[in-house]
Amino acid sequence: DQQVKQNSPSLSVQEGRISILNCDYTNSMFDYFLWYKKYPAEGPTFLISISSIKDKNEDGRFTVFLNKSAKHLSLHIVPSQPGDSAVYFCAASARFQGTSYDKVIFGPGTSLSVIP
């Protein structure tokens, strides 16, 4: 049972255009969402996050949108650059009260290729 879904395994975008990566989740307990970027032979690196009390968070070229009613989030990269080519993982977290336990569930990833 996959609680975090990324239905596009891959995406190709021209340099300078917008990249839109989508993610859906099934568990309404999730209250914090993250995007990670992974290059080959490296561990995932944190990119941007959003709390469930917000519907948008921006950081430079990266914007994450959250639609709680649809249990959907998306990552927009504008403008896309060749260095953005990587695998992007959507992740969701539920923080439990009184504990430090916040199991983070990852989606299967979307491989983004930005073509020069």
Partner 1 sequence: ETGVTQSPTHLIKTRGQQVTLRCSSQSGHNTVSWYQQALGQGPQFIFQYYREEENGRGNFPPRFSGLQFPNYSSELNVNALELDDSALYLCASSLAGDGYTFGSGTRLTVV
Which pair of tokens denotes residue 108? 């299967």
C-beta separation of 47 from 114 below 8 A: no
Q: Is residue 101 close enough to count as binding partner 1 by CB under 8 A? A: yes
The only residue of 8, 11, 52, 108 in contact with partner 1, by rule CB under 8 A: 108
Range in contact with partner 1 (rule: CB under 8 A) among 11-19, 60-68, 72-80, 88-96? 88-96
Q: Quick one: 69 or 99, whose CB is closer to partner 1?
A: 99
The only residue of 41, 60, 69, 70 in contact with partner 1, by rule CB under 8 A: 41
Q: How far is CA 97 from CA 51, 94, 100, 105, in A?
A: 16, 10, 8, 18
Range in contact with partner 1 (rule: CB under 8 A) among 11-19, 43-51, 62-70, 77-85? 43-51
Q: Is residue 46 close enough to count as binding partner 1 by CB under 8 A? A: yes
What gap in Å lies between CA 70 and CA 83, rounded to an integer?
31
The owner of tokens 């080959």 is 40
C-beta separation of 2 from 89 below 8 A: no
Range in contact with partner 1 (rule: CB under 8 A) among 11-19, 44-52, 55-63, 74-82? 44-52
The owner of tokens 């990119």 is 47
Tell me which residues touch partner 1 (CB under 8 A).
4, 6, 9, 36, 41-46, 89, 91, 95, 99-109
